[in-house]
Amino acid sequence: MNILVTGGCGFIGSNFIRFCLDDPQFKQSTLINLDKLTYAGNPANLADKETSEQYYFVQADIADIDTVSKILTEHEIDLIINFAAESHVDRSIDSPEPFFQTNTIGTLRLLETTLHYWKTLSSSKKDQFRFLHVSTDEVYGTLQKGDPPFTEKTPFAPNSPYSASKASSDHLVRAYFHTYGLPVVTTNCSNNYGPYQFPEKLIPLMILNSLEGKPLPIYGDGQNIRDWLYVKDHCKAIWLVAKKGNIGETYNIGGKCERTNLQIVYMICDTLDRKSPTESGKSYKDQIQFVKDRPGHDFRYAIDCRKIKETLDWTPEETFESGIEKTIDWYLSHLDWCKDITENNYQRQRLGIS
Ligand code: NAD
Ligand code: TDX
């Protein structure tokens, strides 16, 4: 199978490529990683895989019709997994437009290019072909305590520019199935955590700020709830949906692991107090600071993942306790990776230095 992964230099995309290259069932597969390398795309995430004969990297935008078209034809692509996106809610609040350029227009162009290619395939190749769109639980909006978790039938109610742009991409994917018959599947997943996550998201930010002696900024009262899933469990679910999911359908993916943000930060501090204690002997919890809330901050996300469990036999392998241990160990043993991002790429972007 020849697989085109978009956004493969980001957090989940690089974990997905790693998951494939490390698994013998993909031995005959070719993986093409198309990534624009925005501030969030880091080729270092896959540096040790660059010599693999199964793996090719192309720096390009998903909206670049000519480049995508060439890749699809030359590599006879059978499966596209679309991870490419602007993905950080806070950035979407500061500057919404790039989110619609990539998440909406980019996905539209990728679908259009894919449709043209798909139409040229033989009928058996056409049947086997899949376009898997990776999306988020945030398209469903927010829950209150006691509300039932989101199912695949929950109406969309996005609240941030990020989730609005992802919701629009989900609608486009659906429309290309219903209008043109393009064989698509969509996954809507809850919050991921694990190795290679860019340190502007809650978990890596809290780990790195702790170690650097910086404040741990908690928005509002820290009582907002997210449903956390270890990234490798997400990758396994994506692969199952690509292989066995019903075309035109959506699959919710979640960790059944609801925690308040304050619980998460306490757990990180407790783990770091044990694994890498401060010189002063004080707990990292002393660095917690409650700061102004995120505008329009969704209160709670929770995923009902019975469909993927019952139809595709997927279940997460990591508990939050085992996943966070692995994640913290990974960051502690990859401080150079973190330093490079915080001192170079990330900082330069933030300061507007190209
Ligand atoms: P990320 O921000 O870490 O990575 C995104 C990648 O896409 C980067 O490598 C970036 O360079 C690339 N990219 C951005 N715009 C592009 C463009 N126009 N063309 C080509 N490449 C482009 O994001 P992530 O956390 O890995 O998320 C991946 C996908 O999963 C996104 O679609 C996101 O909406 C979805 N998702 C993320 C989470 C999560 O918790 N991180 C949860 C559910 C769903
Ligand atoms: O400094 C912080 N302090 C804080 O309290 C940051 C960065 C976050 N938070 C809170 C906001 C959220 O309630 O922590 C929670 C998690 O925040 P993020 O890591 O920014 O994630 P979230 O906004 O929940 O969105 C994530 O999950 C769904 C991903 O970034 C999305 O790409 C994915 O679709």
Fold annotation for 2-197+227-258+300-321? Rossmann fold (3.40.50)
Task: Ligand 2, residue 135: give the atom nearest the CA.
Answer: 34
Alpha helices in the chain (DSSP H): 11-21, 65-74, 89-94, 97-99, 107-119, 123-128, 161-180, 202-211, 231-244, 261-275, 306-312, 320-332, 335-340, 346-350
Tell how far the Cα of 211 is from the centroid of ligand 1, in angstroms: 26
Q: What is the pLDDT of residue 32?
A: 98
**73 Cα distance to chain centroid:** 27
Give the pLDDT confidence score for residue 353 in this predicted structure: 54
Token pair in block for residue 228: 């956390």
pLDDT of residue 170: 99
Instruction: Tell me the torsion sign for CA atoms 92, 102, 112, 231.
Output: negative
Give strand pairing partners of 55: 31
**Packing angle between helix 11-21 and helix 231-244, nearest 10 degrees?**
70
Question: Using an 8 Å Cβ cutoff, are 99 and 165 in contact?
Answer: yes
- Identify the pLDDT of residue 352: 57
Q: Helix, strand or coil for residue 62?
A: coil
279, pLDDT greater than 80 = yes
Residue given tokens 């018959």 in the structure block: 181
Q: Is 170 in the pocket of ligand 1 (CB under 6 A)?
A: no
Q: Exactly one of 117, 162, 176, 251 is catalytic; which is it?
A: 162
pLDDT score for 135: 98
Confidence label for 350 from pLDDT (cuts 50, 70 and 90): very low
Expressed in angstroms and rounded, the spacing between residue 342 Cα and the centre of ligand 1 is 18
Interval 15-24 mean pLDDT: 97
CA of 198 to the centre of ligand 2 (A): 12
To the query of whether residue 251 is one of the catalytic residues in this protein, the response is: no
pLDDT at 164 over 70: yes
Q: Where are the domains of the chain?
A: 2-197+227-258+300-321
52 has a pLDDT exceeding 50: yes
270 is catalytic: no
For residue 211, give the nearest of 220, 199, 194, 201 by alpha carbon.
Answer: 199
Is 0.75 topped by the overall pTM? Answer: yes
Q: Contact 81/6 with Cβ under 8 angstroms?
A: yes
- pLDDT of 271: 98
Query: Does the structure show a pLDDT above 70 at 351?
Result: no
Mean pLDDT of 287-306: 98
Q: Is residue 325 annotated as part of the catalytic site, yes or no?
A: no
Instruction: Give the mean model confidence (pLDDT) for residues 122-149.
Output: 98
**Percent of the chain, pLDDT > 90?**
95
The residue to mutate among 4, 11, 135, 202, having the most atoms of ligand 1 within 8 angstroms of its beta carbon, is 11
pLDDT at 250: 98
Strand partners, 131: 80, 184
**219: Cβ below 6 Å to ligand 2?**
yes
Burial of 61 (0-12, 13-18, 19+ CB in 10 A): buried
State pLDDT tens for residues 81-100. 999 999 999 999 999 999 99
Q: Is the CB of 220 under 6 A from ligand 2?
A: no
Q: Are strands 79-82 and 2-6 parallel, antiparallel or unpaired?
A: parallel
Please tell me the distance from the alpha carbon of residue 10 to that of residue 33, in angstroms, as a whole number.
Answer: 11
The model's pLDDT over 171-215, given as tens digits with 9 standing for 90+, comes to: 999 999 999 999 999 999 999 999 999 999 999 999 999 999 999
Residue 343: predicted pLDDT: 78
- 3-class DSSP state of 116: helix
Q: Are strands 258-260 and 225-230 parallel, antiparallel or unpaired?
A: antiparallel
Percent of the chain with pLDDT over 70: 97
Task: Give me the pLDDT at residue 341, please.
Answer: 86
**In which band, very low, low, confident or very high, does the pLDDT at 347 lie, cut at 50, 70 and 90?**
very low
Active-site choice (64, 86, 137, 318): 137
287 within 8 A of 215, measured Cβ to Cβ: yes
Bridging pattern class, strands 184-189 and 288-291: unpaired
